């Protein structure tokens, strides 16, 4: 009992425990905040990988559009609805069924 009482009265032990409690629960960089930052970091890394793949696809599409005349014609027909002379275009769209 005397040893326990002397440990409780030890000012370095009390200061150390108070410091740990403060750092774990009350500090700006507490445990919960660090966990949240770790989750956010993982989410952002997944987004970075996704946009890296998307960027490569877009760069490839730009290269194709610059050097391939058939690709230029396809884009003009699909996106801008251009047509050749004496040519008719029929736009077909799907209608969603009513529930």
Q: Kindly report whether the global pTM for this prediction surpasses the value 0.85.
A: no
Domain count, the chain: 1
Q: Please report whether residue 65 resides in a domain.
A: no
CA 90, CA 81: separation in Å to the nearest integer?
10
Identify the pLDDT of residue 1: 65
pLDDT tens track for 21-38:
888 888 888 888 999 999
47: domain range?
A: 2-58
Q: Please report whether residue 66 resides in a domain.
A: no
Identify the pLDDT of residue 4: 67
Q: Please report whether residue 88 resides in a domain.
A: no
Q: Please report whether residue 32 resides in a domain.
A: yes
Reported as half-sphere exposure (CB side, CA atoms, 13 A), residue 94 has a value of: 2
Identify the pLDDT of residue 11: 83
Low-confidence spans in the chain with pLDDT less than 50: none
Identify the pLDDT of residue 59: 95
């Amino acid at each position: 009992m005397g040893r326990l009482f002397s440990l409780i009265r030890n000012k370095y032990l009390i200061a150390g425990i108070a410091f740990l409690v403060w750092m774990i629960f009350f500090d700006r960089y507490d445990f919960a905040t660090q966990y949240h930052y770790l989750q956010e970091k993982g989410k952002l890394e997944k987004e970075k990988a996704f946009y890296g793949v998307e960027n490569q696809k877009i760069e490839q599409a730009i290269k194709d559009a610059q050097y391939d005349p058939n690709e230029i014609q396809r884009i003009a027909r699909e996106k801008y609805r251009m047509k050749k002379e004496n040519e008719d275009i029929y736009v077909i769209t799907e209608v969603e069924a009513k529930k």
